[in-house]
Structure formats: structure tokens, C-alpha cells
A and B are shown apart, each in its own frame.
Chain A
Amino acid sequence: MTPLGWYMGLSALLFAIGVFGVLVRRNVIVIFMAIEIMLNAVNLAFVAIARHQGSMDGQVIVFFVMTVAAAEAAVGLAIIIAMFRNRETTNADELATLRW
């Protein structure tokens, strides 16, 4: 049986990689994918703790996180398409103003 701490450490590492991606990348779609990595790192922590506690609640929460992530991806990518149509770019540095 693998200790819970290993899973938490891996989860923290993957979350940090996602944060790094959001900080350093310029393409908004890649930033989006880095956010998905962060969500999944937290899902791993949820499932590991649920297994450790012997309760199903963590797995149910992961179910909800997946649903919200799918909705977030659909709306976010639609926003990216709308931005691309107006500005012809997906570079976050060029999308700095709040007006169309």
C-alpha cells in the first residue's frame, strides 16, 4: 500500500506544474490546458484522501469537478473563438484590454 503522503506530494507537484504553465505561457489555449492539469492534480488528492478515509464523498466531489471542468472548457473555448474572431490572435499579451 502506497502512503497517502506520496499521492499528496505528486498532487502538489502536478498542481505546481500547472501554475507554472499559466504563468509562463502566452497562448491562451495552452494556459487553458495548464488549468486542466491543476484541476486534475486536485482530483488526484481528492481520490487519494477518499481512499485513505474509506469514504466515497471524495469520489463524488471528483465527479462534480469533472462536470464543472467540462462546462468550463466549453464556455472558455467559445470565448477564445469569439476573441480570435475579433482580434485574430490567441496571444494573452495582446488581449490585455477589456473592450472588444
Chain B
Amino acid sequence: MSPIAFFVVAALAVASALGVVLNRNPVHGACALVAHLFLLAVFFVGLDAQLVGVLQVIVYAGAVVVLFLFVIMLLNLQADVRSMVGAPLVFAAAACVGALVTLILGGLREPGAAAGTALAQGYGETQELARVLFTRYALPFELTSLLLLVAIVGAVALARKRG
């Protein structure tokens, strides 16, 4: 990905993330979240992770955010005037988060440039990802199916009307 494209997409991603966090109306926040997830999918495709980018759009932007919108509309949430904590707490949180970013960025070291330049044949393709997923990560993959089953049963049991 060229540096110009990186900065354009990064700026849009940061703006849409701020849109999620700062928007008073939860529906607008969910729409900003869709934009954010699409922009991250652009990064994934740019980093040779095509399948992950496609899954990002289908699973996240498609399924998860629709679930969010569904619940927001089911509960009929409106724009809230007091959607945030008080101003002193917001400044305190901003200071803490600023310190967090400074700490992480200060700890970054540019690693040796050579490590990843020569990629294996077929890197990032679906076939290669499937090969790793179904050999080295076969057990976690199977456990994932159990997790999803438990999540489905749990979600239905929790949201069901009692009576």
C-alpha cells in the first residue's frame, strides 16, 4: 500500500472511529462503525489478507453491525443529550488515553526491514489460510464451533421472554 493511500485510509478510519465514540445518536454511531469496518477491510486487502478482508465485510459489517442496529431499533433508543460523562471525567479519560498512546508509541521499535519482504508463494490466499487453519489450528477451529453453539443457546435463553 502506498504511503499516500495509507494516510488517506488511516485518516478516514480514525475519523469514523471518532464518529462511533462521539456521536450522540446510537444509529449514526452504528453507521460510522460500518464505515470504520470497511476501511479496515481495505487495510487487510492491502496487507495481502484478502480472505480476512472479505470476512470482515461479510461477518462484521454485514452480520454484527446489523445485530447492533436491530437491538438499537428494538429498544427504540434516541439521541441522548447526556450521552457522555461529565466534562472533568472526559478530560481525565482523554489524558489517560493520551498517556496510553504515548506509552505504546514510545515502546515501538522499527524491526529489521528484511524479515517479511520475501513472501512465500500463495501468501494470503484462501488455500494457504485454509491449510494452516485445518492443520495446525484444527483443534481451536473445532472448539470455535462449540463456542458458537453455546453463544446461540445463551443468547436465546437470555433474550427470551420469561413466563
Please give the residue numbers on chain A whose beta carbons come within 8 Å of chain B beta carbons, in ascending order. 1-10, 12-21, 23-27, 29-30, 32-34, 36-37, 40, 43-44, 47-48, 50-54, 56-57, 59-60, 62-64, 66-75, 77-82, 84-85, 90
From 1 to 47 in chain B, residues with beta carbon under 8 angstroms from any chain A beta carbon are 1-3, 6, 10, 13-14, 17-18, 20-21, 26, 29-30, 33, 36-37, 40, 43-44, 47
- Shortest beta-carbon distance, A36 to chain B, in Å? 7
Which of A3, A21, A29, A50 touches B26 (beta carbons < 8 Å)?
A: A29
Q: Which 6 A-B pairs have the closest CB atoms?
A: A71-B151, A21-B21, A78-B158, A23-B93, A52-B116, A12-B104
Kindly list chain A residues whose C-beta atoms are within 8 Å of the C-beta of B2.
Answer: 2
Measured CA separation A53–B37 after assembly (Å): 24
Tell me whether A62 and B101 are in contact in the complex, defined as CB-CB below 8 angstroms, given that A30-B29, A36-B64, A74-B155 are known contacts: no
Q: Is the CB of A47 within 8 A of B128?
A: no
Which of B84, B133, B140, B151 touches A25 (beta carbons < 8 Å)?
A: B84
Q: Is the CB of A33 within 8 A of B20?
A: yes
Q: Is the CB of B63 within 8 A of A70?
A: yes
| Cβ-Cβ contact count across A and B, 8 Å cutoff | 227
Kindly list chain B residues whose C-beta atoms are within 8 Å of the C-beta of A85.
Answer: 161
Q: Is the CB of B47 within 8 A of A48?
A: yes
Measured CA separation A69–B64 after assembly (Å): 9
A29-B68, A72-B151 provided; 9 other pairs, C-beta below 8 A?
A: A3-B110, A10-B10, A21-B21, A36-B64, A37-B36, A54-B116, A56-B124, A59-B49, A70-B148
Q: Is the CB of B13 within 8 A of A14?
A: yes
Interface size range on B against A: 35 or more
Minimum CB distance partner of B74 in chain A: A81
- Shortest beta-carbon distance, A62 to chain B, in Å? 5
Kindly list chain A residues whose C-beta atoms are within 8 Å of the C-beta of B155.
Answer: 74-75, 77-78
From 102 to 140 in chain B, residues with beta carbon under 8 angstroms from any chain A beta carbon are 104-105, 108, 110-111, 113, 115-120, 123-124, 128-129, 132-133, 136-137, 140
Which of A54, A59, A62 touches B119 (beta carbons < 8 Å)?
A: A54
Q: Is the CB of B18 within 8 A of A17?
A: yes
Q: Is the CB of A37 within 8 A of B97?
A: no
Measured CA separation A29–B85 after assembly (Å): 15
- Shortest beta-carbon distance, A42 to chain B, in Å? 11
